[in-house]
Amino acid sequence: MRKSRTLNLGTGSFVLLGFAALFFLTTQTTSHGLAVFGPAHYQVTAKFDNIGDLKVGAPVSMSGVEVGRVTKIDFDSNEYKAVVLLRLNERFNKIPTDSDASIYTQGLLGGKFIGLTAGGADTYLKDGSQIDFTQSAFVLESLIGQVLASFTKQKADEQAPARADPKATEKTK
């Protein structure tokens, strides 16, 4: 009897430890922990022209403080815009309706996140409302394209007068 008791105790603690480990893995190492066991929340939508590589689960922050997460990304085929569903913590329920949402990048090559900047309206965002003022993601590739284009243009400008007036370059020698 005594032996079976210690045996059951051993089995029980092993199983408990195992499930504790799995629980830790599913809630603490992933971004889903907040969604499942999170506090009360409300959802708002925002429409963007271009969301870059914004992913579901990306943080929504205000003055650098995380106030919620992106829960769904959809495409509006009438307006040709990306519809982003934001789940905001109920604790932050005083966000003016004319606040604007922009997509920023964490670090140089980090993931995207949504930053909210407070507006001045007296009414606050509530469940189901929409953020009207949005600013698209800053897409690094298009920026690089623009920089390259301006560089080649600059070079061409520099070379053009040199070719037109070869004597001027000879003089400088």
Partner 1 sequence: MIGELWESLTDALEGLGSVVHFLFRLVVNTPRVLLRFSLISQQIFNSGALSLIIIMLSGLFVGMVLGLQGFQLLQRFGSEEALGTAATIGLVKELGPVVTALLFAGRAGTALASELGLMRATDQLSAMEMMAVDPIQRVVVPRFLGGVIAMPLLAGIFSVIGIYGAQLVGVQIMGVDSGSFWSQMRSAVSLSDVTEGIVKSFVFGVACSLIAVYQGYYATPTAEGVGRATTTTVVTSAVVILFLDYLITAAFL
| CB closer to partner 1, 33 vs 119 | 33
Residue by residue, DSSP assigns the chain as -HHHHHHHHHHHHHHHHHHHHHHHHHHHSSTHHHHHH---EEEEEEEES--TT--TT-EEEETTEEEEEEEEEEEETTTTEEEEEEEEETT----BTT-EEEEEESTTT--EEEEEE----SSB--TT-EE-EEE----HHHHHHHHHHHHHHHHHHHHHHHHH-HHHHHHH-
31 binds partner 1 (CB under 8 A): yes
21 binds partner 1 (CB under 8 A): yes
68 binds partner 1 (CB under 8 A): no
- Find the part of the chain contacting partner 1 (CB under 8 A) among 31-39, 84-92, 145-153, 155-163: 31-39
Four-residue CA torsion sign, 22, 34, 71, 40: positive
| CB closer to partner 1, 32 vs 126 | 32
- Find the part of the chain contacting partner 1 (CB under 8 A) among 25-33, 90-98, 139-147, 160-168: 25-33
Among 41, 59, 70, 84, binds partner 1 (CB under 8 A): 59
User: Which residues, in sequence order, are bridge partners of residue 86?
Assistant: 44, 70
Build a one-symbol-per-residue string for 111-140: x at contacts with partner 1 by CB under 8 A, - elsewhere: x-----------------------------
32 binds partner 1 (CB under 8 A): yes
| Footprint on residues 85-104 left by partner 1 (CB under 8 A) | none
Binding residues for partner 1, per CB under 8 A? 4, 7-8, 10-11, 13-15, 17-19, 21-22, 24-26, 28-33, 57-59, 109, 111
